[in-house]
Amino acid sequence: MSISSADVDKIAKLAKLDLSEDEREKFSSQLSDIVSYMEKLNRLDTKDVEPLAHVNDLMNVSREDKSRPSMEKEDVFKNSPQNDNEFFLVPKVLKT
């Protein structure tokens, strides 16, 4: 299976990536290789194999509903590029 340039565009858009024409071509062939390689798996007969939802054999790992002290506001904001001491500020995401 080959990944077309349009497929790469869609993936780039979903991942919020800007790609140059060169990159698009490069990734198109690279992604095609990856998908082709993965297609080898289709040769396996999985008729009697249960679908796997999780690689761990664990089930039912949970915790009690208990609140614990959290981080102080000053610490929360320490690494933020921009804030107003109440909220994180981000480039406008909605035209109003």
**Which residue ranges make up the site for another protein (CB under 8 A)?**
10, 14-16, 53-56, 58-65, 82, 84, 86-94, 96
Which is closer to another protein, CB of 16 or CB of 22?
16
Alpha-carbon Rg for the chain in angstroms: 23
Least distance (Å) between residue 42 CB and another protein = 18
Instruction: Copy the structure tokens of residue 1.
Output: 């299976």
Of 74, 4, 59, the closest CA to residue 35 belongs to 4
Which is closer to another protein, CB of 15 or CB of 22?
15
